[in-house]
Amino acid sequence: MELKKIRFIEPGTRPYRPSIQNLYVYDKYIRTPSMGLLTLATVVKRQYDDVLMYSESISKIKWEDVLDADIVFIGIFTFAANRGYELADHIKRNSKAVVVMGGLHASMNYPEACQHCDYVLLGEGDESILELMDVLESGSPVEEIQGVAYRRGGEIVNTGNRCPPENIDIVPDRDLLYRYQKMAGHNTLWPQVHASRGCPHNCDYCALVRHFGRKVRKRSPQNIVEDIRAAIDFHDKKHHRLAKMLWITDDNFFADREWAIEVLHAIINSGIHYHFTIQARFEVGYDDEMLELLKQAGFDELAMGIEFLEDEAFENYHKHSTYWDIERSVQNIQRHGLRVRGLFIMGADNHEKGVGDRLADFVIAHNISGVLIQSMYFVPGTPVYETHKDKLIHRNWSKYNGNVVHYPEKISPYDLQLEIIHASRKIYSRRRLLQAIFHKRGLERLLFVGEYFWQKSVRADLTSELPYLKRVTEESGRY
């Protein structure tokens, strides 16, 4: 077969809709399109002329364009899996295009994904994507390449895992994303750069280490600076955004300390003056040299994966930290003039009523600048999924976006959802909003005000799920 027209789709993350009539799902929370899928589109563009990507966080899909494609790639995370399957089924019914799925959820749950597409790319597709396209064009057996799953008769064939790519020095071509330039000025849409892949740790609930592996692979500092320049230019050249912040999206940027220091020096020496945010584990809070370099490079805050506040929970889920570690790290980061954003999980086996107050009180007492609070999440293929799959309420993946989806040990699903809502409301109260308006400055004030209204919307969605959770709690007879 001949492949000329190639399209990529990132499904939206709104709840699944049974009707295919309205195929536009604009995500009101996360308007940052997938750099991973855009990177794959960039790789394909090197060999094919007609390449375009759609993200439902950015625009509607032009169906007259997609249904005329020769091959369509759809990348999905767990919370967008239902939507991705819906789109794949629609394309299969209405076109002759080959449909290929990939991304974290499809890779880790490929027997399910194979029911909706022709092929699944397993793991990272930087190298396998062009190999798959080559064998499709030549008519060679797909079994010749590793990293692909597909249906053959009544069985699922897996051609085997392949080694992750080592050379990841790729600057994604942001112009390949339909209408991205027009939306780039929106204040909730930040420039993103992914500098490394993999994490040496092994937390039970983390799907990313299962997807990318425990070996950390890095882009060169020069390539990262090039990408930072491209991202800033793309977002700011034609727009005047209020919140100018670039997000380094690595899961563990600081895993290779020597390399991280090289990257920070490269940013400092580049002369780029911008605001940056980055994800971090607590250990970086003990590294005074690293914190000072972060400050010099323009970093304003660290989004710390705190997750829990109880040593028992850390131990149960193989997160190698303690409450004292977290507290000491936060205090030292703040001493260096950097803000700390907290990423929290509620619904550990030891959590009981009152966990929401404990979390909110910690955030307020330690001057945590913002939070993301989610119920324990369960991605197929992770250890926590395997140990808790008999405790899941359902497998409606569209609900795996912060809602309670399991029966915790010591608190009911309904009460846990209430605890999450309560913690958010306490942290983002009207009193604290007024304090932010009158006492915070510049970007910090703007971010808190924006998050106040974002959290209010999140709580509304969580609240809408309460009647269902109350019913399943009562029907379970567990509490």
pLDDT tens, 99-146?
999 999 999 999 999 999 999 999 999 999 999 999 999 999 999 999
Beta bridge partners of 372: 343
From 98, 124, 158, the end of a domain falls on 158
Residue among 275, 335, 343 nearest 309 (CA): 343
pLDDT, averaged across the chain: 92
Residue 18 above 50 pLDDT? Answer: no
Range of the domain at 126: 5-158
Q: Are residues 229 and 273 in the same domain?
A: yes
What is the rounded CA–CA span in Å between residue 165 and residue 96? 31
pLDDT value of residue 14: 60
From 124, 158, 192, the end of a domain falls on 158
Q: Are residues 181 and 56 in the same domain?
A: no
CB contact at 8 A, 28 and 56 = no
Residue 245 above 80 pLDDT? Answer: yes
Q: Are residues 150 and 180 in the same domain?
A: no
Residue 339 above 90 pLDDT? Answer: yes
pLDDT tens-digit map of 411-462? 999 999 999 999 999 999 999 999 999 988 888 898 899 899 999 999 999 9
Q: Specify the DSSP element, H or E, that contains 74.
A: strand 71-75
What sign has the CA pseudo-torsion 404, 397, 158, 219?
negative
Q: Are residues 337 and 439 in the same domain?
A: yes
Q: Are residues 354 and 257 in the same domain?
A: yes
From 99, 124, 158, the end of a domain falls on 158
Number of domains the chain is built from: 2
CATH code for the domain in which residue 433 is found:
3.80.30.20
Tell me whether residue 361 is in a domain.
yes
Residue carrying the six token digits 């829990």:
308
Q: Are residues 199 and 148 in the same domain?
A: no
Residue among 201, 191, 346 nearest 281 (CA): 201
Tell me whether residue 334 is in a domain.
yes
Q: Are residues 88 and 230 in the same domain?
A: no
Rounded mean pLDDT of 171-176?
A: 97
Rounded mean pLDDT of 349-372?
A: 97
Q: Are residues 287 and 431 in the same domain?
A: yes
Number of continuous H segments (helices) and E segments (strands) in the chain? 19, 15
**Pairing outcome for strands 98-102 and 71-75:** parallel
Q: Are residues 218 and 70 in the same domain?
A: no
Tell me whether residue 164 is in a domain.
no
pLDDT tens-digit map of 291-303? 999 999 999 999 9
**DSSP at 16:** P
pLDDT value of residue 140: 94
Tell me whether residue 165 is in a domain.
no
Q: What angle do CA 41, 45, 47 make, to 5 degrees?
A: 130
Q: Are residues 136 and 197 in the same domain?
A: no
Q: Are residues 97 and 239 in the same domain?
A: no
Residue among 239, 87, 224, 98 nearest 168 (CA): 224
Residue 15 above 60 pLDDT? Answer: no
Residue among 187, 191, 164 nearest 177 (CA): 191
